[in-house]
């Protein structure tokens, strides 16, 4: 929580132009934004093509296994 | 290019947000810096956070007749309030004596110069105010915003902003007189 105090030390409460300039950087903001919003790799179960591909392979392997067994 | 045009472009493609960032960064940084009582590093982080949130929520921004800056101020205001709430210890925010004097005069407590002891007493009163009341006092007297600017941040009319502020001042006045 904030607690107000009397500025008896006469601390500067307004930033200088140099302080503002030091932190003004749109490329850094864009970079941070990208980092935060970058979507992770799609999970397997949400990728229908990959899911079908793996299902077909599993069926082939199963049929091969059953053929060998018989 | 006009501001509404830039906003429309920024909604479609975030790279156009740069123009808004460059235009409004200084005033938002000043606002946050003052709210934190001159804490440069945290002011930089919270200003950055404000613009990231604004950038991420550009789709939700609607022009309701208030300036775009009031939307940014509102996000910054929320970021700073959240920061204060997250602090485990009390976060000390120094206020200039002149600002305390202005507040005392407006609350009709003092018209002449206040002693250091009275200033401390008034600051003690402020620290016991509700968070939302304190925000309003802070915007008006410590950030020195006009009632119009305050009204825009809260999306209320200027008369409402004025009325709410003066009710809080009346309360401070009563409390002060009761303790005298």
B25 found inside a domain:
yes
B134 found inside a domain:
yes
B91 found inside a domain:
no
* Same domain as B107, residue B77: no
Q: Quick check: B113 contacting A, CB < 8 Å? A: no
B48 found inside a domain:
yes
Q: Quick check: B22 contacting A, CB < 8 Å? A: yes
Is pLDDT at B120 greater than 70 in this prediction? yes
Q: Which of B61, B86, B111 is the last residue of a domain?
A: B86
| Cβ distance of A13 and B96 shorter than 8 Å | yes
Considering only CB atoms, B21 lies closest to which of A2, A13, A29, namely A29
| Cβ distance of A30 and B14 shorter than 8 Å | yes
pLDDT at A37: 79
CATH at B46: 1.10.1740.10
More confident call, B179 vs B134: B134
Shortest distance, CA B18 to any CA of chain A (angstroms): 6
B92 found inside a domain:
no
Please tell me the total count of domains within chain B.
2
Q: What is the mean pLDDT of residues B23-52?
A: 95
**A70 falls in which pLDDT band (50, 70, 90)?**
confident
Q: What is the mean pLDDT of residues B26-44?
A: 95
Question: Measured between alpha carbons, how far is B166 from B174 in angstroms, rounded to an integer?
Answer: 12
Question: Measured between alpha carbons, how far is B95 from A9 in angstroms, rounded to an integer?
Answer: 10
Q: What is the DSSP letter of B139?
A: I
Q: State the complex-level ipTM.
A: 0.81
Shortest distance, CA A40 to any CA of chain B (angstroms): 17
Residue B148 burial (CB count, 10 A): 13
* Same domain as B101, residue B82: no
Is pLDDT at A36 greater than 90 in this prediction? no
Q: What is the mean pLDDT of residues B5-20?
A: 90
pLDDT at B4: 86
**A42 falls in which pLDDT band (50, 70, 90)?**
low
Q: What is the mean pLDDT of residues A15-44?
A: 86
Q: What is the mean pLDDT of residues B35-42?
A: 93
Inter-axis angle of helices B17-35 and B40-56, nearest 10: 140
* Same domain as B168, residue B101: yes
Kindly report, residue by residue over B45-98, the tens digit of the pLDDT. Answer: 999 999 999 999 998 888 888 889 999 999 999 999 999 999 888 899 999 998
B169 found inside a domain:
yes
SS3 B91: strand
Q: Which of B86, B119, B151 is the last residue of a domain?
A: B86
* Same domain as B28, residue B65: yes
* Same domain as B117, residue B175: yes
Q: Which of B86, B107, B141 is the last residue of a domain?
A: B86
Inter-axis angle of helices B17-35 and A26-37, nearest 10: 100
* Same domain as B173, residue B115: yes
Question: Measured between alpha carbons, how far is B94 from B92 in angstroms, rounded to an integer?
Answer: 6
pLDDT at B78: 94
Question: Measured between alpha carbons, how far is A38 from A34 in angstroms, rounded to an integer?
Answer: 5
* Same domain as B109, residue B57: no
Q: Which of A8-12, A54-58, B153-157 has the lowest mean pLDDT?
A: A8-12
pLDDT at B111: 73
| Full domain range(s) for residue B47 | 3-86
pLDDT at A41: 62
pLDDT at A7: 87
Query: Greatest CA span in chain A, whole angstroms?
Result: 92
B139 found inside a domain:
yes
Residue A28 burial (CB count, 10 A): 11
CATH at B150: 1.20.140.160
Kindly report, residue by residue over B158-180, the tens digit of the pLDDT. Answer: 999 999 999 999 999 998 888 87
pLDDT at A40: 61
Q: Which residue has the tokens 């300036």?
A: B67
Q: What are phi and psi of B94, to 5 degrees?
A: -70, 145
**A47 falls in which pLDDT band (50, 70, 90)?**
confident
Q: What are phi and psi of B91, to 5 degrees?
A: -100, 115
B76 found inside a domain:
yes
* Same domain as B77, residue B142: no
pLDDT at A39: 63
| pTM of structure | 0.81
Question: Measured between alpha carbons, how far is B135 from A1 in angstroms, rounded to an integer?
Answer: 13
* Same domain as B111, residue B59: no
């Amino acid at each position: 929580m904030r607690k107000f105090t009397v500025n008896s030390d006469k601390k500067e409460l307004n930033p200088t132009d140099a302080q503002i300039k030091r932190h003004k950087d749109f490329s850094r903001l864009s970079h941070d934004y990208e980092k935060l919003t970058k979507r992770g790799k799609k999970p397997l179960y949400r990728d229908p093509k990959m899911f079908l591909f793996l299902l077909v392979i599993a069926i082939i392997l199963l049929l091969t296994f059953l053929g060998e067994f018989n | 290019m006009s501001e509404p045009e830039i906003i429309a472009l920024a909604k479609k493609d975030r790279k156009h947000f740069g123009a808004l960032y460059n235009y409004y960064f200084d005033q938002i940084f000043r606002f946050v810096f003052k709210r934190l009582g001159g804490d440069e590093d945290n002011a930089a982080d919270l200003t950055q956070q404000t613009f990231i949130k604004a950038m991420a929520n550009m789709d939700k921004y609607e022009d309701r007749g208030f300036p775009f800056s009031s939307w940014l101020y509102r996000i910054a205001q929320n970021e700073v309030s959240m920061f204060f709430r997250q602090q485990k210890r009390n976060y000390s925010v120094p206020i200039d004596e002149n600002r305390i004097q202005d507040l005392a005069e407006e609350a009709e407590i003092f018209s002449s110069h206040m002693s250091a002891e009275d200033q401390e007493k008034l600051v003690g009163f402020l620290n016991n105010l509700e968070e939302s009341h304190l925000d309003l006092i802070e915007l008006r007297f410590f950030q020195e915003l006009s009632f119009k600017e305050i009204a825009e941040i809260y999306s209320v009319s200027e008369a409402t902003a004025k009325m709410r502020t003066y009710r809080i001042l009346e309360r401070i006045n009563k409390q002060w007189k009761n303790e005298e």
